[in-house]
Chain A
Amino acid sequence: MDFGNILINAFGELISPTTAAYALAALGLAVHFGYSGLLNFGQAGFMAVGAYGYAISTLTFGAPLPVAVLVALVSSVVFAIVLGIPTLRLRADYLAIVTIAAAEIVRYIVTTNGLTEVTGSANGLAAFEGSFYALNPFPQGVYNIGPLGMSERNLWIRVVAWTIVVLACLTVWLLMRSPWGRVLKGIREDENAVRALGKNVYAYKMQALVIGGILGSFAGIIFTLPRGAVQPANYATELTFFLYTCLLLGGMATVLGPVIGAMIFWVVLSLTQGLLYGAIEIGAITFLSNVQAGQLRYILVGVALMLLMVFRPQGVLGNKKELAFA
């Protein structure tokens, strides 16, 4: 068992583009759930809309990068509005069921064989990342970040991904300390009180849904770019639940919470994987296969989500007064 290697892998997860994508999507959930109290269980759907919007406009219509990103964002805005119209007037549990159903509808539609030409059905789409890497300003070579060596492509995607995360955090921070953000928090605490003050609660909720959805859409693009492929199986309901775990880990009504939560989530997953596989390799654990070790980690995720919710719902950074539920 090589502890150095395990630690380096864990450090790699800390700055990986997937972590950045989770952080962004969880930040979107913070806007939805943490700040506005909207129980959106369809964030995976927003990510899928972003990823497919980008991939399809690049592959099918040959759109240049800015147009493709724009298409992805506009599609997620449309998705948010279509989703919001019937659901934002509903109680939290109804909202949860409807959003999760909407995300599954998106996944079924991109999986169907009838649209294979456009979506690639279950196999998904690939080879759409060319225009992104064509913009890479780093010359070819090996770059070292701490103990981690990476190619210029990997460096480029990391720089872009984390720049977007930083910008998104700044935006959300500015939004939430603005009057607009205060109204949103007011809606979370007492919708009727805010309504009595003459605010259009429905419109504020819709705006929050759209902003969180745009973050989710960005996350979807960042999630697919390093993989070079977008596959519907990646956007199942589990993804949303993992995002909630990240969000609750960090603290749901905070700006940095989702980012730190995503980092903890992936570092812990990487560490447990490294340690379990290492222990199996040297024969310290004999009752597990490698596959089972992988499943054990997700059992732990589920248990962690339960324990967090029961014992520390405010997460690492959160303030217990600022919970979306009493």
Chain B
Amino acid sequence: MIEITSSASVEIRLARPTVEVYTLITQPMPARIGGMLLLALGVFASVLLGAPTAHSSPPSAVSVTQRASQVTPAPAPAESAAPENFTDRVSGVLRGVDGPLGGVTVTVSGNGFDGETTSADNGFWQIGVPEQGTYEVLLDENSLPEGVELAEGQANPRTVTFAGTSNATTLFLFGEGIVSQSTSFWDDLAERAVAGFSFGLLLALSAVGLSLIFGTTGLTNFAHGEMVTAGAVLTFAFAAVGMPAPVAIVLAVLGGGLLGYVQDAGLWKPLRRRGTGLVPMMIVSIGLALALRYIIQFNFGGATQQLPGSQSTAISFGSVSISQNNLTSLAVSLVVILGVGFLLLRTRIGKATRAVSDNPALAAASGIDVDAVIRIVWVAGGMLAALGGILWAYYRPGVSYNMGQQILLLIFAGVVLGGLGTVFGALIGSVLVGLFVEISTLWLQADLKYVGALLIMILVLLFRPQGILGRRERIG
């Protein structure tokens, strides 16, 4: 789901704006504040308790951060550790999975000063220091309760620097300890796989559109990422003017189709008429991508916003838990992709599309209106991309002007992996990319998860350049 590397920022980014936007959209002013408080309280409570209770349903974002739950703001500082008459102090709160960690020894040294303290029962510790500056903070890992360990990658000792205030805080994040990790590997794997499947299917939505467009027109469309973004941004815009989420989503998908239609009618069709080559068209699509991206930023701003209902409850199947949004996303994309597959294989227009994709000249000669087919493909591609964008906004979660650009290369990877121009190849390739991205986080750093997928794409091109389902033909 979401990487846990920088939990502090993750927590703040996920929990706060979501609550705000959600209430902003759905409730009038006074209720908004109340609702906000209530939700915020709920979030805190579920984090503090740390255990999934039967009746309360912790939002998915929170359940993700539970393993790093010490991030919650400090409870009121206790008087346990006296500040020793210094006005400047280094402090923090130690909180593990099962609650606060008391009796843990922390030492601070630097600037010719040494101080030691033990954390209070509520996990709070502070050490007064004579002057502001840089100090080294060491947590005595031997004094930790059994079964609690520092999370991976947590520096200990670490340096803390005062940044103009009289208090410097540092947070130690705790994992579950080695004992429980070894047993949870298969659970982790299953959970990553489910998340990856969901991610892969939403990639597939966009990839199928891209692949159809490539198949029928030969265009490698670098502006496809912006069509993905457009879906999410339109949903946000419609929801922000007060429409209920389902209506907003349907309208946004239609809007994506319109964008595809306008693009084809206004730009690509005239270029095809001129007989513009494929490489110039590719570069034109880059120009279009830049223009669209900055137009979206121009109107939407650079911030990340949340769609209504972006926090959802987690559902557990045995040891595997998946958020309700992810499950819905999985189901929606599966149904839509099966629908597209059915249309392509069983209907006249689907057959026509495959014929154009195979050989446009021959298709035209046999009475197929090639331009009409291409128009339909652009509209369908735009709608699929918009839907993929909306699901991607729920998956990340968040809407931002460059969200489509972030997955554009993964979409390409899925398409290339399956074989450029093959629709079912795009589906299989995207699912593989999604699975690979999520499962690789078991070993790779979370911020490197896209690297693996891109490397796989390059390797596939090296050994099977036509992709998994592509026909063997010379592509060099």
Contact = CB atoms under 8 A, between A and B. Distances in A.
B447 A241 contact: no
A248 B283 contact: yes
B276 interface: yes
The 7 nearest A-B residue pairs measured at CB: A302-B291, A302-B290, A305-B287, A306-B287, A89-B476, A86-B462, A325-B279
Contact of A296 (B298, B413, B455): B298
Given A94-B416, A292-B298, A310-B271, A305 B280 contact: no
Nearest to A303: B291
Contact of B413 (A86, A87, A101): A101
B286 interface: yes
Nearest to B415: A97
Contacts of A241: 286-287, 289-290
A298 interface: yes
A91 interface: yes
B271 A302 contact: no
Contacts of B271: 310
A96 B282 contact: yes
A301 B279 contact: no
B458 A101 contact: yes
Contact of A86 (B6, B279, B282, B461): B461
B357 to A, nearest CB: 16
Interface stretch (A9-17, A103-111, A138-146, A207-215): A103-111
Name the interface size band of chain B: 35 or more
A302 B289 contact: yes
13 contacts: A86-B462, A94-B461, A96-B282, A97-B409, A101-B458, A104-B450, A108-B450, A248-B283, A301-B291, A303-B287, A306-B284, A310-B276, A325-B279
Interface of B: 5-6, 153, 220, 267, 271, 274, 276-280, 282-284, 286-295, 297-298, 302, 405, 409, 412-413, 416, 420, 445, 447-448, 450-451, 454-455, 457-459, 461-462, 465, 475-476
A291 B280 CA distance: 31
B290 A301 contact: yes
A2 interface: no
Contact of A309 (B278, B283, B409, B459): B283
Contacts of A301: 290-291
A92 interface: yes
A326 interface: yes
B462 A113 contact: no
Contacts of B6: 113
A104 B461 contact: no
Contact of B475 (A90, A105, A305): A90
A299 interface: yes
Contacts of A172: none
A254 B153 CA distance: 51
Interface residues of A, number: 50
A249 B457 CA distance: 32
A305 B283 contact: yes
Given A90-B461, A114-B448, A310-B271, A104 B454 contact: yes
Nearest to B219: A93
A100 B283 contact: no
Nearest to B276: A310
Contacts of B445: 112-114
Contacts of B462: 85-86
Q: Could you say which of B295, B420, B445, B461 has the most chain A C-beta atoms within 10 Å of its C-beta?
A: B461
Contacts of B284: 305-306, 309-310
Contacts of B461: 86-87, 90, 94, 98
A202 to B, nearest CB: 10
Nearest to A90: B476
Contacts of A89: 465, 476
Given A292-B298, A302-B290, A310-B274, 18 more contacts: A39-B279, A93-B220, A94-B416, A97-B412, A101-B409, A101-B458, A105-B451, A108-B451, A109-B451, A111-B447, A237-B405, A244-B286, A299-B291, A299-B294, A299-B298, A306-B267, A309-B287, A324-B279
Contacts of B280: 309-310, 313, 325
A304 interface: yes
A248 B413 CA distance: 27
A296 B465 CA distance: 40
Contact of A304 (B287, B289, B292, B297): B287
A104 B409 contact: yes
A102 interface: yes
A113 B447 contact: yes
A96 B283 CA distance: 10
A105 to B, nearest CB: 5
Contacts of A101: 409, 412-413, 454, 457-458
Contacts of B276: 310
A304 B291 CA distance: 9
A60 interface: no
A105 B454 contact: yes
Contact of B295 (A91, A108, A299): A299
Contacts of B291: 299, 301-303, 306
